[in-house]
A and B are shown apart, each in its own frame.
Chain A
């Protein structure tokens, strides 16, 4: 049987003070990174416009930028995205990049700026751009093609759009030649009546300022709400201080993950907030598993063992489970990070980092807090007891004298 850490017997609690201080330092460092570096907020939170465009030919970003500047836009970013061979360009325009009344027109402004003048002239002459055309426009065009029945035209239009869906863009008219239902006559007709424009639009988003504000507020409440939910649940199932210990560990995970998120300049979006909430829900599991074991051991061995040793024993006994489970989850989120594409990368990043930090915190934050709390309570009880005892003694002394 393959096994890890069968008879692990590490003295986790022995180093608790050093590690608690180290953790505190890392949390402070993360907070500083957050304060200095800030978080790269996506348009969902800031408002603005976002477009992903695929070009036929490789683009010089400087040229794209100056074209947008000439169109009167300000406060925009242009970057490549994905595989460079795809010529995908990502354009983001901030809310302050245009006049208030035309904020929701920015998409049209950008698209017009990217469209060369010749294409506009061709469009005026009724020539359609196959990389941008709608199904209706294409159908209207094909309906007038020589030798096509209405049914043929519908089928051919569907075939053209399906090919565009597969390839995202037509790089030349020749790509149309092999499509099912294409005849030489229709192809000749299309060569005159259609063209392939320089780009295809892959996605577009516009978020107004009101939405961003709302989402930000909602995100904050959701995170705080789920932390409070954890506190209450563990309070009910265990005791208040156990819940508190778990929530401190969760806050620790959240802050450190946020710090790394900021350091790597990842972009905050709705799915990323979802990832943080998932992290909170997941990271608490390790803590709960250890807590459950501590409680069980307290019941069976509580009378013969010191609490610190009990905690150590419980962590050691659940250590193999903790490492295997975290490892398996890590495999899954790493796969998402590596293969999930750009939209899932920031989301998976939070979980890749959070899984590791969360595992650490359930061992080195939540349990030590329990131990520290216990010893503090014990000390206070002792000093109270001591105080009462000495007061009593003084009183007796008085009586005697």
Chain B
């Protein structure tokens, strides 16, 4: 063996060693896609309009609270447009004080005195953009926190989309996608609201709320007060049937969701699951004031969920509460754990909608792996048998090159941490179909040259050099297609484009370089004359 050939083989063996290093052990090196290992792929969209709405509500709540603390009366604070709120019926004589409160709470907003105690407050556009962007960022973080709490291994959370308002979540191996989804997208916006008692009620603790919207309206003499809204509470009657209570509650909340510092599942004295929470000090101050005012009355705990807001419970306030409390709701262990998790990880500042979801159960993934491997192996064996019969020992050369090609593809996938998907397995075996094209092109050319009466050595030289440009052209055109495939694809299809690309690049090395060196090795030194070639 010449020194030059020796170096070339050293290079080939080096490549093999590196590839093997990155393949072994395969179960650690090769990432399986969700379609093979099972898991959930969820794309969510943050509804930025609702973020604006929440922002308005939060400011309304603050303004209302401050006006009340200052003893300034008002009729209502309500949203007029997505970025506009209106305050009605403030005391005209104290309008300077109202402006002072507004300047202090929403100073950067456009504040307009409509006269006769009405105010119109408009959110500035740059603040709107800020709220929309913040909604996505906070949602992203909240989802990360919730996933961490779910205990999923190797999750993926990514911001996506042209407007950047989409969030991709991948949860490998999740057994119960419905629960994961519930936990992830539930807004979990917790609020405490004061009950608006109908006129004439004196026994606040034992007052029975209405069971229908109509009854509620009738209690207030036809129409609800402007600052009051009805919220449903579902309950199970003694006979097992479901019923709904309609609580008339103040629009402006005492405390809102993000005021929570901590929440966890605990058990009450009868061992039933409940959720205990702690408030931040600022919220605790507000809560203290509100509970002080409402001792002996009920206050409602409202949870904003996917299906809208509903009352979890409306306990009678026994004593002033500062910063700690508990929520009862007839929870199961799992529900209480989930609720605590959601409250702990923070509320969404916006509505989140699922726009795409794909979940593959682990058993289907296993079936796909089996089917994919059987299909790939039978295709590979088919190619192998044909090459050996048709090109005999040269065919063996090609088979070695193909096997090495597959090894390099797997090694490269291991190195890049690329993900193997079911279409990726198809891509792997298709690569074999395409890589073998280079061998066939070369071998057919060698045969042609042999038929023209050339010596074995010059036929091989000519075969390789003449076929090279054609092989390059073929592979580059396929790479162009693979590029568009990659830019188009999501998930599994991207995996396919990746295996195809790596496979084609590797085939230039294996089919052209390695295969050539094998011929050189078999034919021996240059001075030695070769009479025939097994091709």
| Interface 1/0 per residue, B31-52 and A, CB below 8 Å | 0000100100001010000000
Does A61 touch B at the CB level, under 8 Å? no
A328 touches B436 (CB 8 A): yes
Which of A211, A226, A274, A292 touches B423 (beta carbons < 8 Å)?
A: A274
Say whether B229 faces chain A, with CB atoms less than 8 Å apart: no
A271 touches B493 (CB 8 A): yes
At the interface with chain A, which of B68-76, B103-111, B141-149, B381-389?
B381-389
Partner of A270, one of B179, B376, B440, B490: B490
State how many angstroms separate the Cβ of A72 from the closest Cβ of chain B: 16
Question: For window 209-227 of chain A, which residues contact chain B by CB distance below 8 Å?
Answer: 210-211, 218-219, 221-223, 225-226
Q: Are A211 and B43 in contact (CB under 8 A)?
A: yes
Instruction: Select which of A208, A223, A278, A329 is within 8 A of B354 by beta carbon.
Output: A208
- Assess whether A119 is interfacial by the CB under 8 Å rule: no
Contact indicator B481/A203 (Cβ below 8 Å): no
A1 at the interface (CB under 8 A from B): yes
Q: Which residues of A contact B22 (CB under 8 A)?
A: none
Q: A292-B470, A321-B444 are in contact. Are A165 and B354 (CB under 8 A)?
A: no
Chain B positions within 8 Å of A221 at CB level? 488
Per-residue contact bits, chain A 35-50, to B (CB 8 Å; 1 contact, 0 not) = 0000000000000000
Looking at the complex, which one of B430, B440, B477 makes contact with A351 (CB distance below 8 Å)? B430
Question: Looking across the interface, which residue of chain A has its beta carbon closest to that of B370?
Answer: A341
Q: Is the CB of B437 within 8 A of A325?
A: yes
B480 within 8 A of A: yes
Contacting pair A288 B440 (CB below 8 A)? no
| B490 partner residues in chain A, CB cutoff 8 A | 270
A128 to chain B, nearest CB (A): 11
Stretch at the interface among B56-64, B186-194, B356-364: B356-364
| A335 with B379: CB separation less than 8 A | yes
Kindly state whether residue A108 has any CB partner on chain B within 8 Å: yes
Cβ-defined partner of A331 (8 Å) among B334, B354, B360, B382: B382
Tally A-B pairs: CB < 8 A.
252
Q: Distance in Å from the Cβ of A206 to the closest Cβ of chain B?
A: 4
> Which residues, 302 to 357 on A, are CB-close (under 8 Å) to B?
317-318, 320-321, 324-325, 327-329, 331-336, 338-341, 343-344, 347-348, 351
Counting contact residues on chain B (CB < 8 A from A), the size range is 35 or more
The listed residue (B366, B380, B466, B488) touching A273 by CB distance below 8 A is: B488
B interface: dominant SS = helix
Given A229-B480, A280-B481, A288-B474: A161 touches B175 (CB 8 Å cut-off):
yes
Question: Which of A202, A218, A285, A335 is close to B437, meaning CB atoms less than 8 Å apart?
Answer: A285
Name B363's contact: one of A3, A132, A200 (CB within 8 Å): A200
Q: Is A324 touching B390 in the complex (CB atoms < 8 A)?
A: yes
B178 to chain A: closest residue by CB? A108
Whether, in the assembled complex, A281 has its beta carbon less than 8 Å from a beta carbon of chain B, the answer is yes
Would you give the shortest CB distance from A294 to chain B, in whole angstroms? Answer: 11
A205 within 8 A of B: yes
A271 to B430, CA, bound (A): 14
- Which B residues are CB-close (under 8 A) to A168? 361, 363-364, 367
- A168–B366 CA distance with the chains assembled, in angstroms: 9
- A348 touching B429, Cβ below 8 Å: no
Partner of A166, one of B38, B363, B436: B363
Residues in B lying within 8 Å of A, measured CB to CB? 35, 38, 43, 45, 175-179, 333-334, 353-364, 366-368, 371-372, 374-376, 378-380, 382-383, 386-387, 389-390, 392, 422-423, 426, 429-430, 432-434, 436-437, 440-441, 444, 447-448, 451, 466, 469-470, 473-474, 476-485, 487-490, 492-493, 496-497, 500, 535
Taking beta carbons and an 8 Å cutoff, which residues of A are in contact with B? 1-3, 6, 52, 104, 107-108, 111, 132-137, 140, 161, 164-169, 200-208, 210-211, 218-219, 221-223, 225-226, 229-230, 233-234, 237, 270-271, 273-274, 277-278, 280-282, 284-285, 288-289, 292-293, 296, 317-318, 320-321, 324-325, 327-329, 331-336, 338-341, 343-344, 347-348, 351
